[in-house]
Amino acid sequence: MPGWRATYNMTINHEMGGYAVNRQIMKISAMAALLVLAGCASMGGGNSGVDVLASGLHSGVKDEQYHDIHNAADFKTWWDKAYSVYSSAPPMPNVDFTKQMVIAAFMGEKSRGGYIFRVIKATETDQGIDAVISIQIPGSGCNAPQATVQPFQFVAIPASTKSVNWDVKQSYRNC
C-alpha cells in the first residue's frame, strides 16, 4: 500500500521532525560501529598475552567463576557447560596444552544485557599469572536489552604451572 507508507512517513516527519530522526539514527549507527571497532581492537592478541577462543552472551554457567584449564578433558567439561543452553555446542578449538592453557571466565547471570566482559590481559610474573578481567556495566542512560544474559569468554595463554591471580576490574560506562 504505497499510500499508507507515504502517509506514515509524513506523520513521522511532521510529529518528530524527519531530519532529527535521521540524524539520531546516524548517531546511533556511528556509535555502534565505534563500539564494535573498539571491542575488536581490545579483544586480545598483540602484547595482551591472550588469544580469544570463544565468547558469548548466554551460558549454562549462572554464577561468576574463573578457571585455569590445563588439559583437554577439563576444557571439554567447561566448554560443554558454557554451551549447555544451546541445542548444540560449536566445535571446540584445538589447543596444544603442552604450549598453552585456557582461561574460562564466566560473569554469572545478569538481568539485562549491555555488559562488556572480557579477559584483557594475562601476564606471568614471579608470583604467578596475573589475569585481568574487565567488566563494563551499562549505565542508566544505556539502552540495554531487557534480557537475561550470562556472558563468558575462553582465552588461550602460554602454559604455566603457576597459580592464576584474578584481577577483576569493574567500571560503569555511560552511553
Separation CA 75–CA 87 (nearest Å): 19
Sheet (strand 164-173) strand order: 116-124, 129-138, 164-173
Together in a domain, 54 and 103: yes
Together in a domain, 57 and 14: no
Together in a domain, 65 and 135: yes
User: Crossing angle of helices 18-41/2-12, nearest 10°?
Assistant: 80
Together in a domain, 21 and 103: no
Together in a domain, 54 and 90: yes
Q: Cell digits for 51?
A: 588469544
For residue 33, what are the CA distances in angstroms to 2, 13, 20, 114, 172? 32, 26, 20, 15, 20
Instruction: Decide which of 75 and 28 is more confident.
Output: 75
> Model-level pTM greater than 0.75?
no
Instruction: Decide which of 5 and 101 is more confident.
Output: 101
- CB environment 30-43: b (16+ within 10 A), e (fewer): eeeeeeeeeeeeeb
pLDDT in tens, 23-59: 444 444 444 433 333 343 334 445 678 999 999 999 9
Together in a domain, 27 and 110: no
Together in a domain, 87 and 161: yes
Together in a domain, 11 and 24: yes
pLDDT in tens, 141-154: 888 888 999 999 99
Together in a domain, 110 and 140: yes
Residue 138: its H or E element = strand 129-138
Together in a domain, 61 and 140: yes
Query: Which residue, 41, 56, 72, sits at the end of a domain?
Result: 41
Separation CA 131–CA 154 (nearest Å): 12
Q: Which domain holds residue 148?
A: 44-173
φ/ψ of 47, rounded to 5, equals -100, 20
Together in a domain, 144 and 111: yes
Indicate the number of domains in the chain.
2
